[in-house]
Amino acid sequence: MGGCEYTDSCLADPLVERTMNKQNIGIICSSGGHLAQALSVIDAFDGHDLFLIVHDLPTLKGIQISEVRRIYQLRVILGYTSFIAVFLTALANVFQLVRIFWIEKPSILFSTGAEIAIPAFYVGKVVYRTRLIYLETLTRVKDLSLTGKVLYPIVNLFLVQWPELLNKVGRKAVYGGRLI
């Protein structure tokens, strides 16, 4: 099972090498804690072009993040209050994601979750062959999140923040320490 020394080196090594060539990196996450966690490690992508994909929620109206070049907000269907609404939102957003990735041409997609990452990562991997980095949320100590379980098979780098979690995850997982 993998291991990493500390913070930025886990994200930068080997997928986000700091080279002379800027990479276009998409950060995809839901609002609230997932967004806060993604932004807390944004320095790992310093020197690269970043874009952010989040849901179009009232709490995110007018959001601006200086390190991010462009923010895309995906539509939310039926208020995002039931499983059906989440499923319909994800399905509808597939077409928006194809368009966004066509425009952005990301070399890497990064996410801390949650459900917004699932269609984005599958579109990125299948349609554009984008490299994928998933950071399991800090709150997952003993078991993976549903998003982590769904994305684990397709990601290139799967980071966990608790050593106990390595026993529940396959060989692809890397313990990165407390990155957040």
- Residue 19 belongs to what domain range? 2-175
Q: Specify if 18 maps to a domain.
A: yes
Q: What would the pLDDT profile of 161-179 be if each residue is shown by its tens digit?
A: 888 888 888 788 888 777 6
Q: Is residue 27 part of a domain?
A: yes
Question: What is the total count of domains within the chain?
Answer: 1
Is residue 73 included in any domain, yes or no?
A: yes
User: Would residue 96 count as lying in a domain?
Assistant: yes
- CA gap 156, 134 in Å, rounded: 8
Spatial separation of the C-alpha atoms in residues 122 and 129, rounded to whole Å:
9
How much of the chain, in percent, has pLDDT values that exceed 70? 82
How would you list the strands of the sheet with 173-175, edge to edge?
Answer: 2-3, 173-175, 157-160, 131-135, 108-113, 24-29, 49-55, 70-74
Residue 180 lies in a domain: no
pTM: 0.83
Residue 110 lies in a domain: yes
How does pLDDT run across 29-45, given as a tens digit for each residue? 988 878 888 888 888 89
User: Considering the domain boundaries, does residue 144 fall inside one?
Assistant: yes
Token pair belonging to 81: 């209050």
Give 7's pLDDT tier (boundaries 50, 70, 90): very low
CATH number of the domain where residue 102 is located: 3.40.50.2000
